[in-house]
């Protein structure tokens, strides 16, 4: 039956443009709201204080704003499921496009595995004696089911997953500030007492503040899904800019207000903030303080939804990237085959095969595997962001060099060239310094360095290998391919 369901449409198979504006908006919005906000935000406040956490997230948020506008300009003009891999190929160097594409596929494939491993941890909160393999298999079947039916089924599932997360954050913010001002809770207004507690809003050294950049950056990863969805979006010239304008401000507002609320309600030196156990998640602590029954179970269910959403989007993004690589001749042609519903089935299955590494959790221990996989994929997202900044910088220059008017673009990113240059600089700083702790203490932690920076040699191997084999060079601005396929 499988062979009857699969077709290959000539040399340029087409995906179905079935994602609507509401799908794209919620996919981008939901892609950034997850465990980074629900769990890691407490650790950021504990390490750098509420002021330090707010500043770190604000700086990373500003960088993400410029990355989103850069990607939005290119995606609205030239929608492609290959996104920044395609743009780097056309505007920079085919070797860079090849490396970015495989880097992004690897990033999301490993992230899927990490999410599956995390699901076993969450489910064992309710079923402590159950098998990890059962929950891993169930998770795989669910996200495969949503992705294999049609792109519309993926869009709808992600829309509702994201809606649950968004509603949770909104309710949390409203109830938190009602408690802060003494409207609910039966106590006097909290005000800014906890915000200026102890050392004040800023706690620790500059290195401490710098250290939470990784957590902040990881929390925002997923915004680039906007570019991948462009290839299957109805009227991308209209819907992509609309998503760029609305999503960023909602994300920043949610993150900043949620962190501010936590910092006002819980002192930064509360040891529970350093735990990533859902029972002491900052959201759980605040909900319990409000008197909400079974707060830990409620947050557990919401975090489970966040993991399903991340796995769902990760499978979608990585399979589309692998499909586009195959279409461009940068991956085996086998992966460019589509079902009659326009689904790259073999790309889906290959990605899930990597995600199945999470089954190792049932053999070696859930927590160890989860942390290792999470660390291994962390750097790849920042490399993808670097690719977006470089590609946009070159795209705009090529567009003008070839005699075009930027006013003819469907969407024009503001503050060019400052935007991509600022994003490139800050991304580079975070990549280079994210594991500075490995050099602290007089003895270098080589194992920690290997796990943290493993994404760099992998990326360079792809880049150099392709460049040497195909003898590629930097594409001259006047020769950049600005042709838009209809």
pLDDT in tens, 84-123: 899 999 999 999 999 999 989 988 888 887 787 778 888 8
Q: Report, in this order, helix, strand and coil percent for the chain, each rounded to 5.
A: 75, 0, 25
Residue 369: how many other CB atoms lie within 10 Å? 24
Give the model's pLDDT for residue 209: 82
pLDDT for res 468: 95
Asked if the model's pLDDT at residue 391 lies above 90, the reply is yes
How far apart are the C-alpha atoms of 203 and 268, rounded to whole Å?
8
The predicted model gives 10-22 an average pLDDT of 70
Structure letter (DSSP) for residue 454: T
Give the 3-state secondary structure of residue 338: strand
The region of weakest confidence among 20-29, 78-87, 308-317 is: 20-29
Give the per-residue pLDDT at 3: 43
**DSSP class of residue 189?**
-
Q: In angstroms, rounded to a whole number, what is the distance separating the alpha carbons of residues 57 and 219?
A: 9
Q: What pLDDT score was predicted for residue 95?
A: 96
Mean pLDDT of 414-420: 94
**Which of 8-12, 307-311, 321-325, 408-412 has the least mean pLDDT?**
8-12
Whether pLDDT at 384 is above 50: yes
pLDDT value at position 374? 61
Least confident of 95-109, 178-192, 320-334, 431-445: 431-445
The tokens describing 451, both together, are 């796990």
**pLDDT value at position 99?**
95
pLDDT score, position 7: 46
Best-predicted range by mean pLDDT (19-23, 46-50, 432-436):
46-50
Percent of the chain clearing pLDDT 90 (strictly above):
27
Residue-wise over 313-329: b if at least 16 C-beta within 10 A, else e?
A: bbbbbbbbbbbbbbbbe
For a pLDDT cut of 70, what percent of the chain falls above it?
A: 90
Which of 178 and 33 is assigned the larger pLDDT? 178
pLDDT tens per residue across span 271-286: 888 876 666 788 888 8
Per-residue model confidence (pLDDT) at position 11: 47
In this prediction, residues 406-420 reach a mean pLDDT of 94
What stretches of 78-131 show up as alpha helix (H) in DSSP? 83-91, 94-126
Range 420-427 average pLDDT: 94
For the chain, what is the mean pLDDT?
Answer: 84
User: What is the average pLDDT across 182-187?
Assistant: 74
pLDDT class for 363, splitting at 50, 70, 90?
Answer: low
pLDDT digits (tens, 9 = 90+) for 440-471: 767 777 777 777 787 788 899 999 999 999 99
**134 pLDDT higher than 50:** yes
Given the candidates 3.40.50.620, 1.20.1740.10, 1.20.140.10, 3.30.1490.20, the CATH classification of the domain at 16-467 is 1.20.1740.10
Residue 405 tokens read as 């008017």
Task: For the chain, report the end-to-end CA distance as a whole number of angstroms.
Answer: 32
**Structure tokens that stand for 47 in this block:** 């390490």
What are the extents of the domains in the chain? 16-467
Instruction: Locate 423 and state its tokens.
Output: 């994003």
Which pLDDT score is estimated for 251? 73
Report which of 333, 196, 169 is spatially closest to residue 258, judged by C-alpha positions. Answer: 169
Chain Cα centroid distance, residue 462: 22
Residues forming beta bridges with residue 7, ordered by sequence position: 338
pLDDT at 259 over 70: yes
Predicted pLDDT of residue 9: 41
What's the mean pLDDT in 209-219?
A: 77
* pLDDT class of 422 with cuts at 50, 70, 90: very high
Q: Which token pair is 480?
A: 């950049």
**Helix runs in 181-294, H state only:** 206-211, 213-220, 225-229, 236-265, 282-289
Q: Are 341 and 16 in contact (CB under 8 A)?
A: yes
Place of tokens 């800014």: 192
Q: Is 447 exposed, middle or buried (0-12, 13-18, 19+ CB in 10 A)?
A: exposed
pLDDT value at 234 more than 90: no
Q: Which residue has the higher pLDDT, 373 or 339?
A: 339
pTM greater than 0.75: yes
pLDDT at residue 224 tops 60: yes
């Amino acid at each position: 039956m499988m062979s009857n369901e699969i077709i290959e449409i000539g040399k340029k198979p087409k995906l179905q443009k079935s994602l609507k504006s509401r799908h794209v908006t919620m996919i981008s919005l939901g892609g950034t709201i997850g465990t980074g906000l629900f769990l890691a935000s407490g650790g950021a406040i504990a390490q750098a204080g509420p002021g330090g956490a707010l500043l770190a997230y604000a700086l990373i948020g500003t960088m993400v704003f410029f990355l989103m506008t850069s990607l939005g300009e290119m995606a609205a003009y030239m929608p492609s499921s290959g996104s920044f891999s395609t743009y780097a190929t056309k505007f920079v160097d085919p070797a860079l496009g090849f490396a970015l594409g495989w880097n992004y596929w690897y990033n999301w494939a490993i992230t899927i595995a990490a999410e599956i491993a995390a699901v076993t941890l969450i489910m064992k909160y309710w079923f402590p004696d159950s098998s990890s393999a059962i929950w891993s298999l169930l998770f795989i079947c669910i996200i495969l089911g949503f992705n294999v039916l049609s792109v519309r089924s993926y869009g709808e599932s992600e829309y509702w997953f994201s809606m649950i997360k968004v509603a949770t954050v909104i309710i949390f913010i409203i109830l938190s500030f009602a408690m802060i001002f003494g409207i609910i809770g039966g106590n006097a207004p909290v005000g800014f007492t906890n915000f200026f507690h102890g050392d004040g809003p800023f706690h620790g050294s500059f290195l401490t503040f710098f250290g939470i950049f990784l957590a902040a950056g990881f929390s925002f990863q997923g915004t680039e899904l906007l570019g991948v969805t462009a290839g299957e979006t109805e009227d991308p010239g209209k819907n992509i800019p609309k998503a760029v304008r609305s999503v960023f401000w909602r994300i920043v507002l949610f993150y900043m207000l949620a962190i501010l609320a936590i910092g006002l309600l819980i002192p930064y030196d509360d040891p529970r903030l350093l735990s990533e156990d859902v029972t002491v998640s900052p959201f759980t602590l605040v909900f319990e303080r409000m008197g909400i029954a079974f707060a830990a179970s409620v947050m557990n269910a919401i975090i489970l939804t966040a993991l399903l959403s991340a796995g769902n989007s990760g499978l979608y993004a990585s399979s589309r990237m692998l499909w586009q690589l195959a279409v461009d001749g940068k991956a085996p042609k086998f992966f460019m085959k589509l079902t009659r519903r326009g689904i790259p089935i073999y790309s889906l299955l290959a990605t899930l095969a990597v995600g199945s590494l999470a089954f190792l959790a049932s053999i070696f221990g859930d927590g160890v595997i989860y942390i290792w996989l999470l660390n291994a994929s962390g750097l790849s997202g920042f490399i993808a962001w670097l690719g977006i900044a470089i590609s946009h910088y070159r795209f705009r220059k090529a567009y003008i060099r070839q005699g075009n008017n930027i006013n003819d673009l469907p969407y024009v990113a503001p503050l060019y060239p400052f935007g991509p240059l600022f994003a490139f600089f800050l991304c580079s700083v975070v990549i280079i310094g994210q594991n500075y702790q490995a050099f602290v203490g007089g003895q270098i932690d080589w194992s920690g360095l290997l796990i943290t920076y493993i994404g760099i040699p992998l990326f360079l191997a792809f880049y150099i290998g392709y460049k040497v084999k195909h003898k590629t060079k930097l594409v001259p601005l006047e020769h950049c391919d600005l042709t838009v396929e209809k």
